Chain A
Amino acid sequence: MIEFQAVTKRYDDGTVAVDNLDLTIADGGITVLVGPSGCGKTTSLRMINRMVEATSGTILLDGQDVHAQRPATLRRGIGYVIQNAGLFPHRTVLDNVATVPMLLGAKKAAARERATELLATVGLPAELAKRYPAQLSGGQQQRVGVARALAADPPVLLMDEPFSAVDPVVRDDLQDELLRLQSELGKTIVFVTHDIDEAIKIGDKVAVMRVGGRLAQYDTPAALLANPVDDFVAAFVGRDRGYRALGFLSAHGVEVAPLATVALGSPVEAARAKLDSGWAAVVDEAGKPLGWVSAAGLSTMEGSVQAADLVSGGSLYVADTGGRTGSLRAALDAALSSPAALGVAVDSAGAVVGSVSAEAVLAALADARKAGEVPS
């Protein structure tokens, strides 16, 4: 557990970066510090491992004042991932990852063996081990940065805007990878970002900070979206927050209705007979959705239904009867993005199991509200 007790950071020129911060960070979760630039989020993070010294107040790490420990010793027990990875350009990927074990006195061979394991853990192929950082892509460098931070198996991981310098697609991958890693490792992670979407995606708890180093709200992502404490937080959380909040509600209560389906290659006449309200989903042999046909579309086709004639479909909603169900947001988006106004529900293997309508999603939301499942 990490506790900030009345922590203030004031620079010599009088600027207050962090103002009387009280914050308790629980073990085993991802806590995100988020806010606009100048809100003191990075300063707060760096006070934990004393890369920045607090002017007043106390920071406890597992009940121990970080000030009672020598900085270098303290830091070797805390993983740190920095923006742009900050890899050592003159060391191979393997030796970068082996840095902290070596500093802690591990033999070179043992440290490299551990580093090799970690490359696999963060999803990097072993043949990258001998390369130098400049020979890697930005996303790969950032994964090496995460592996390096994990090398000594520290219980606490500090991440300072680690994914902000990579392109959005890679960033999304890295976020998913972090969540996967965290589900295996269960570290106490403090993560700094200026991107509220990133905060809401990966945070178990999110601390929104405002300029001047004041804590504005500290809550779960769902509560933050549902109930921002003031205008600043509401504005920072951004547009569509009602819609985005649906992402935190399971769609298990949404009715999955039967869906008219047509196998690819069926005769046009047979397909026409199956239409429901003028539309039918077209599936392959495995039952996976390929697109839609409409009454209007079929009237111009001859012979059989071909892939080239289909209307492309919307997003898919995973309605796995085996337990993991998509969110209300996924269900609603499937319905709204479908040309037939019916979202295609699939099982975890991707085969069609039925349809969801926007009305069904809203009905389920109303039920969830009545049952008190919606945070307010």
Chain B
Amino acid sequence: MSWLADNFQRLAEVSLDHLGLAMVPVSVGLLISLPLGWLASRWRLARRILVPVTGILYAIPSLALFVIMPLVLGTQILDPVNVQAVLTIYTVSLLVRAIADTLDAVPESVLAAASAMGYRQAGRFFAVQLPLAVPVLVAGLRVAAVMNMSLVAVGQLIGVGGLGIFLIDGVQRSNYASIIAGIVAIVVLALLVDRLLAILGWALTPWTRGSRR
């Protein structure tokens, strides 16, 4: 307990750092996945390429990606962008198929009605397809956020890992307080973000609740 009291300030600071390392990729990943998912739902050829290619990225071990990222991006070894780029790739890998599928699931009659009302392509996407995709988007974002929260710690193997530092330090110095504090902080952050995203999704989708007839 005295360890926690001594290191609380640092734990809080690193948690914030950890949050940024995990959540920036979720946001960037969403922004990249939306147009890719839309392309995949729009053209069969795009789907045949995008869905398998983004899907297979998920199978590459994170450690391998962390190590090669500085070579690919030309960044410094200790640049946090390396970690964020890797987590963005995983986020995109999770979201593209889900977005393509949910855009495809909008009933044909709803799309035809939107066109017949006089929506243009883009207007129809933002006014009809995207709002209807929110439940699936939020579900995907929750998975991605929780996954990133734990994967950030692996980044510590290349020197950028947020709360991972408490795990590595703890192992090297047999400091169990440090290990446990690191794990608990990661789990609490993950639960918190998951909850917030769930609430956001609930607030954005009033049509999915309430009494059915």
Contact = CB atoms under 8 A, between A and B. Distances in A.
A152 to B, nearest CB: 9
A15 interface: no
Contacts of B114: 88
B212 A134 contact: yes
Given A89-B132, A90-B207, A49 B116 contact: yes
B132 A132 contact: no
B109 A85 contact: yes
A137 interface: yes
Interface in B84-140: 107, 109-110, 112-120, 123, 128, 131-132
A89 B207 contact: yes
Contacts of B113: 80, 82, 85-88, 145
Contact of B109 (A86, A103, A148): A86
B107 A86 contact: yes
B205 interface: yes
Interface residues of A, number: 31
Given A89-B132, A135-B212, A72 B110 contact: no
A362 B119 CA distance: 56
A200 interface: no
Interface in A325-344: none
A85 B110 CA distance: 8
A90 B109 CA distance: 14
A72 B120 contact: yes
Contacts of A83: 109
Contacts of B213: 134-137
Which are the 6 A-B pairs with shortest beta-carbon distances? Answer: A86-B113, A76-B118, A80-B116, A86-B109, A75-B118, A132-B207
Interface residues of B, number: 23
A51 B112 contact: yes
Interface in A41-89: 49, 51, 72-76, 78, 80, 82-89
B211 interface: yes
9 contacts: A72-B120, A75-B118, A84-B107, A86-B107, A86-B110, A91-B207, A99-B117, A135-B210, A145-B113
A100 interface: yes
Contact of A82 (B112, B118, B132, B206): B112
Nearest to B211: A135
Nearest to A132: B207
Contact of A100 (B115, B117, B131): B117
B124 to A, nearest CB: 10
B110 A89 contact: yes
B118 A100 contact: yes
Contact of A80 (B110, B117, B210): B117
B205 A90 contact: yes
Interface in A157-199: 158
B109 A75 contact: no
B117 A75 contact: yes
A86 B109 CA distance: 5
A88 B109 contact: no
Nearest to B213: A135
Contacts of A72: 118-120
A73 B115 CA distance: 11
B212 A86 contact: no
A190 B126 CA distance: 30
Interface in A119-135: 132-135
B118 to A, nearest CB: 4
A137 B131 CA distance: 23
Nearest to B133: A90
Interface in A84-110: 84-91, 99-100, 103
A73 B118 contact: yes
B97 to A, nearest CB: 22
A112 B102 CA distance: 30
Contacts of B110: 86-89
B109 A84 contact: yes
